[in-house]
Amino acid sequence: MSTILSGKEVVKSLKEKIKEKLNKLNSVPKLGIYLKTDDDPARVYSNSIVKKAKKVGIDAQIIEVDPNITHEDFEKLYKDTEGSFDGVIFQRPFPKNVDINLINNIIDPKKDIDSVSSYNLGKIIQSNNIIAPATAVAVIDILKYYDIPLKGANVAIIGRSVSVGRPLVMLLLQEHVTPTVCHTKTKDIPSITKNADIVVVSAGRPKLLTKEYFTTESIVIDVGINVLEGKIVGDVDFDDVVDSVKAITPVPGGVGTVTTYRLLLNLLEVMDA
């Protein structure tokens, strides 16, 4: 039986850090979540952020965004409302007419707590970032909490998204990891994952990775959150893999759980900067 790398344990330590930072503030931090009104999973996630934020003492609010809003109107909506918040998130998926490549012209990098702006992403390349996309940092949070050696480790990342895989390469280089990024065009992924000490899976496809991808020494971090037959499952086939690897994060209760608190901590980090 593998070690289960529970996100709940990591959350406890992040809550402590959040509490410390909140104690230094004289006001209640305000978080704005811009949410397209017609996306149910995004609403479930946003509601859960609001609830968790309230519990730790952060005031998070949802700003309802019409799915058909024009780019210009979204920009105006943002400019009219950003003053009320210390940090903001543009919940994915964005409204279809909002040009994601022009998000930089809208969002204030100082309030961009999930690091979607070019400016904040570039600072990660420069190792000069105070924050990074919350999901990518949650992976690092879990690895560090469980004292998994990073310096010199070979890490295979499955998935090259702008919100996870790509910034994670840079964060792992800051930790002196040797990272390899695999994706749909990669030849023979198992030969790479089997040679890695740690495998981070962010492929966006349910139960894609089975035990053939791993060895008994593999440490598996599953970033995936998918709904399959009414159940939330990861990108790793947990039941198939759990007895044949060294350690694995569960889904739910793994990276996703940590991500929300990392996001709240990111808010306090930018307020502190």
Q: How far is the CB of 256 from its own copies (least distance, A)?
A: 22
CA-nearest of 241, 36, 17 to 224 is 241
User: Please, what is the angle between helix 134-145 and helix 165-174, to 10°?
Assistant: 40
* CB-nearer residue toward its own copies: 25 or 162: 162
Q: Which of 77, 173, 232, 242 binds its own copies (CB under 8 A)?
A: 173
Longest dimension (CA), the chain: 54
Q: Which of residues 108-137 bind its own copies (CB under 8 A)?
A: 117-128
Q: How far is the CB of 113 from its own copies (least distance, A)?
A: 15
Q: Which of 6, 91, 180, 218 binds its own copies (CB under 8 A)?
A: 180
Q: How far is the CB of 231 from its own copies (least distance, A)?
A: 32
Q: How far is the CB of 232 from its own copies (least distance, A)?
A: 28
Q: How far is the CB of 181 from its own copies (least distance, A)?
A: 6
Helix (H, G, I), strand (E, B) or coil at 258: helix
Distance CA 13, CA 39 (A): 31
Helix (H, G, I), strand (E, B) or coil at 73: helix
Beta strand residue intervals within 84-147, DSSP E: 87-90
Asked if residue 215 binds its own copies (CB under 8 A), the reply is no
* CB-nearer residue toward its own copies: 48 or 118: 118
Say how many C-beta atoms besides its own lie within 10 A of residue 43's C-beta.
17
Distance CA 194, CA 200 (A): 12
Q: How far is the CB of 12 from its own copies (least distance, A)?
A: 30
Q: How far is the CB of 259 from its own copies (least distance, A)?
A: 19
* CB-nearer residue toward its own copies: 61 or 178: 178
CA-nearest of 157, 162, 182, 167 to 136 is 167
Q: Which of residues 137-156 bind its own copies (CB under 8 A)?
A: 151-152, 154
**Binding segment (CB under 8 A) for its own copies, from list 41-49, 62-70, 184-192, 244-252:** 184-192
Asked if residue 160 binds its own copies (CB under 8 A), the reply is yes
Is residue 98 a contact partner of residue 78, using CB atoms and an 8 Å limit? no
Residue count (the chain): 273
DSSP per-residue codes, 2-16: PEE--HHHHHHHHHH
Q: Is the dihedral of CA 198, 202, 203, 208 positive or negative?
A: positive
Q: Which of 29, 87, 95, 167 binds its own copies (CB under 8 A)?
A: 167
Within the chain, residue ranges assigned H as helices are: 7-23, 40-56, 71-81, 103-106, 118-125, 134-145, 165-174, 189-193, 238-241, 255-272
Would you give the binding string for its own copies spanning residues 92-111, x where CB under 8 A is met?
Answer: ---------x--x-------
Interface ranges with its own copies (CB under 8 A)? 101, 104, 117-128, 151-152, 154, 160, 162, 166-167, 169-170, 173, 176, 178-183, 185-187, 192
